[in-house]
Structure 1
Amino acid sequence: MITISLCMIVKDEEATLWNCLNSAKDIADEIIIVDTGSTDRSREIASEFTDKIYDFEWVGNFEPARNFSFKHATMDYILWLDADDVIMEEDQKKFLELKKNLDPSVDSVSMIYNYGFDEYGNVTLSFRRNRLVKRSKNFQWEGDCHVYLVVSGNILDSDICVSHKRVHHSTGRNLAIYEKRLENGDEFSPRDYYYYGNELNENGLYERAMNAYETFLWMEGGWKEDKIAACSRLADCYGKMGMFDEQKEILYKSFEYDVPRPEACCRLGTILSNEQNYESAVVWFERAIDYEPDKGNWGFTYKAYSTWVPHQNLCKCHYYLKNFEKSYEHNEIARKYRPEDPGILHNKKLLEDKLNL
């Protein structure tokens, strides 16, 4: 059986830290906490689970803090989590089985990161990350704000999930990191421009976000999955600015990188539906449902766009096309995912009255 060091960096995480550590305590053989300046109860909470708590002065980015935490690991493998992550009970069992049976020739184990959830508990955003890495390989973190672990060798893709249970999101802090780099005259990589655009977007700075996304998309290099995601995010910015022709064009541009993804299909369907071009909208929403994801894809998966979102929109389109039975069928499928959604329940009553059900 392998041994595992859990390495974390924290700052003012009292709202989530206990749940995170409690979910991982039976998996980790040691827990290492690097505190970057907490003023709340984070250290007190961490001390319930470990005495290996280290101070690290915040220097404006995450890379050195992450790498500092890894330096203190002593076990065979290193597991990393954020304070607002949890390992659910079913995944804890899978993790313990992995720990018993993992081939020591494996250099890294990737896991599914369920990052977003709706109010009914449905996963809305997921992607893979290298989550458990062999300590002897000395893999390092790179970047500043949205850091990434540089991994190579024998990588095992597992079905274990880590769930992100966000309480707050320090968008202002992340944006400040990028702004400071710009002030210092740092040269941005394609990846930097993509994530800088995301931070601007989340802070409502849409025109500047559009510029960052456009710069990224027309640069050489950059991960294909980031390019596809940037097209969708840029389309949203265009929509908010009333630039609807540009919105359509950038969604079509996403097809240059791969087959039409559900996110782009649903956005195009929504545009056409708003134009009352319901028959054409139906084509795009159906295409979103029929999309077959590549199991080896490490990109972002927005499950809502292949499940309840297109079905709810198909309910609307078929209603206006007077295909009431189809409208009802799609609403019922959407209701399986969101059983208490007021809009879906309203549609159910309306269509049952229409069909005399």
Structure 2
Amino acid sequence: MRILRKWIAEEGIAQGRLLFYYAGECYDRQRYAAAARGYAKLLEQPSGYREDRLIACARLAECYERLGQPGCKLGALLQSFQYDLPHADFCCGIAACFHERQELVSAIYWYMQAVDVSSRDTGLRPVPTACRTWLPHARLSLCYAHLGNWEQALMHNTKAREFLPNDPGLLDNRQKLEAILRKEIRNRKEQDEAQS
């Protein structure tokens, strides 16, 4: 941090890679307000490396999450689309914003986008494995369960378990979903018998 401050003092302004590194140091030290200012300033600049801008969007969203500013978090995630096609982690983050607001149809849309783009090459910026594998399916399972669509909930639980077959939470949810579906099938069968 001392070296970066000295460098900024010598340059007279923080911009480009210097600003990126300074914001990164603030982020690593959990100085989220300072990091957010740095990343936001970096994204305002007319040029820069694509990967730096994508990392800045992801970290800016995290800073806003830590600072309790969910609207700003969503904006930072959406801003990533200015620099590249959607990445699975940005789609999961956007979906989580809607999920937290109980806007489940929108959350489902964005989790499905994460699934759709999960195999796309994202270049030099690493995308968390969870966002490209089990996480969107696990969250889709929860969303569909809250909407009472038990078949879709179980299907996505099954897909999540392909990546994490022994996960206790996923296994527990599978048992609950299977029990609900068995009960629904019994009820339908009883209703059909009563009508005939």
Q: TM class, shorter-chain normalised?
A: 0.7 to 0.9
Q: Deviations over 1:26-53 (max 9, x none)?
A: xxxxxxxxxxxxxxxxxxxxxxxxxxxx
Match of 2:120 in 1: 293
Unmatched 5+ residue regions in structure 2?
A: 184-196
For the pair 1:185 / 2:14, whether they are aligned, the reply is: no
Distance in 1, matches of 2:24 and 2:167, equals 29
Greater strand share, structure number: 1
Greater helix share, structure number: 2
Distance in 2, matches of 1:335 and 1:198, equals 35
Unmatched 5+ residue regions in structure 1?
A: 1-174
The structure 1 residue matched to 2:32, chosen from 206, 212, 230, is: 206
Match of 2:168 in 1: 342
Q: Deviations over 1:166-215 (max 9, x none)?
A: xxxxxxxxx45434544x53454412322332232222111011011112
For the pair 1:245 / 2:68, whether they are aligned, the reply is: no
Distance in 2, matches of 1:201 and 1:324, equals 41
| Number of residues of Structure 1 aligned to a counterpart in Structure 2 | 181
The residue type equivalent to 2:121 in the other structure is D
TM-score w.r.t. length of structure 2: 0.82
Question: Which of 1 and 2 has greater Rg?
Answer: 1
- More deviation, 301-310/322-331: 301-310
Which secondary structure state, in structure 2, belongs to the residue aligned with residue 185 of structure 1? Answer: helix
Give aligned-pair identity as a percent. 33
Counting only pairs closer than 5 Å after superposition, residues 1-357 of structure 1 correspond to structure 2 as 175=1, 177-179=3-5, 181-182=7-8, 185-186=10-11, 188-291=14-117, 292-294=119-121, 297-356=123-182
Distance in 2, matches of 1:338 and 1:324, equals 20
Distance in 1, matches of 2:70 and 2:30, equals 19
Distance in 2, matches of 1:342 and 1:195, equals 39
Q: Deviations over 1:53-95 (max 9, x none)?
A: xxxxxxxxxxxxxxxxxxxxxxxxxxxxxxxxxxxxxxxxxxx
Q: Deviations over 1:205-240 (max 9, x none)?
A: 110110111121112322112212211210111122
Match of 1:67 in 2: none
Q: How far has the Cα of 1:248 moved from its partner? A: 1.6
Q: Deviations over 1:310-340 (max 9, x none)?
A: 1111011011111111111111221222233
Q: CA RMSD in A?
A: 2.1
Distance in 1, matches of 2:165 and 2:25, equals 33
